[in-house]
Amino acid sequence: MSRIFAGMSGGVDSTVAAALLKDEGHEVVGVTLKLWDEASRCCNLEDIQDARQACFKLGIKHYVLNLKDDFKKSVVDYFIKSYINGMTPNPCVICNEEIKFKALIQKMKENNFDYAATGHYARIVKKNEKFLLKEARDKTKTQEYFLARIAPEEIKSIIFPLGDYKKSEVVKLAKNFGVYVEKPESQEVCFMRRNETPFEFIKRNSDISMIDKGAFYKSNGEKISAIKDSAYFNYTLGQRKGLGISAGRPVYVVKIDAENKRVVVGDKNEVFARRFTVSSLNMLVPQKKSGFYAKVKVRYKQKKAEAYIRKAGDRAEITFKEPQFAVTPGQLAVIYKADVVIGSGFIE
């Protein structure tokens, strides 16, 4: 049997993951990360207490790692900087890459444990002596998109016990193990207050001047109006609702010009793109050729679309077979072969 560090958030998924591993006879230790004092989920005081209680019920040890400083530098500062630079960040991806798995694996190695485990819905499969990151069985919950930045050399040290389960089955297991806790579904950004906008968060957590908030412009350069209740960095490519302007027809954000503090709006067809570049390539499955065909997602909920990828160092140019909606700078493009993640890069 193995010795396993299990990431525990206090929720049903991570608790069942730890319970399954213990039930298989492994030595399991629960680890909860303290990341942000005002967190709405994952790492606030209530969740830490829930994780501790779950570990008590399971009869396993529980530890808390304080990574608040690292989280502030790697995730929150990145979040703020990205928006101010006119990009749309993906903090969950960065947190998994820079904080959660890095911390779990480091502590795993320091304590001579064999694996790190979490309650993510994804699968790691060994094939021909290689470890592959794959979609989970539950396609409505699968989270491999957010895990595509894990370092290739670390995949062999990670376990996802829920990869072959559906969410409904996990809830039943939690009740059978006696650890079911009903909690609301989490919002996308854990460190923002509920219903808070990026503008409101940035205003609270940075010293950026809010004097010139920017303005809305048409694609032809004509000014529509000044931005009154937020700022240019509160918007994202493809956004239609919540613009607060009257254009006589539905309009979408087609560009964020951070340098000139402009939010450019236009027709829906202007938001589609066929070719774009990505940087910071993380190839989980190396390809023999610099150019190859695969499928790509540029958003978590998007369907995979056929594309041609041409690599050049740690960058790549991706060309979709059909134009895709809102290929957004700052977001992650994940490259697939069937249900296997072969790489990812950040959209420029």
What is the C-alpha separation between 177 and 161, in angstroms, rounded? 15
pLDDT reported for residue 287: 95
Catalytic annotation, pick one of 42, 43, 92, 190: 190
Mean pLDDT in runs of 10 for the chain (348 residues)?
94 97 97 83 76 96 94 96 96 94 91 96 94 97 97 96 97 94 72 88 87 92 93 96 87 97 96 98 96 97 96 97 97 98 98
pLDDT reported for residue 46: 82
pLDDT reported for residue 246: 81
- The number of residues making up the chain comes to 348
CA distances from 331 to 86, 94, 305, 321, 347 (A): 12, 11, 16, 20, 6
Q: Are 227 and 263 in contact (CB under 8 A)?
A: yes
What is the C-alpha separation between 223 and 261, in angstroms, rounded? 12
Q: Are 340 and 133 in contact (CB under 8 A)?
A: yes
- Residue ranges of alpha helices (H) inside 59-144 are 68-71, 77-84, 91-95, 101-110
The two counts, helices (H) then strands (E), for the chain are 8, 17
pLDDT reported for residue 195: 85
pLDDT reported for residue 100: 93
95 catalytically annotated: yes
Q: What is the DSSP string of 105-129?
A: HHHHHHTT-SEEE---S-EEEEETT
User: Residue 127: beta bridge partners?
Assistant: 130
Nearest to 62 by CA among 23, 39, 31: 31
Nearest to 191 by CA among 68, 58, 315: 68
What is the C-alpha separation between 18 and 169, in angstroms, rounded? 15
Rg (CA), the chain: 21
Cα angle 301, 12, 169 (rounded to 5 degrees) comes to 75
The domains located in the chain, with CATH, are 3-177 (3.40.50.620), 209-266 (2.30.30), 271-347 (2.40.30.10)
Catalytic annotation, pick one of 42, 43, 92, 95: 95
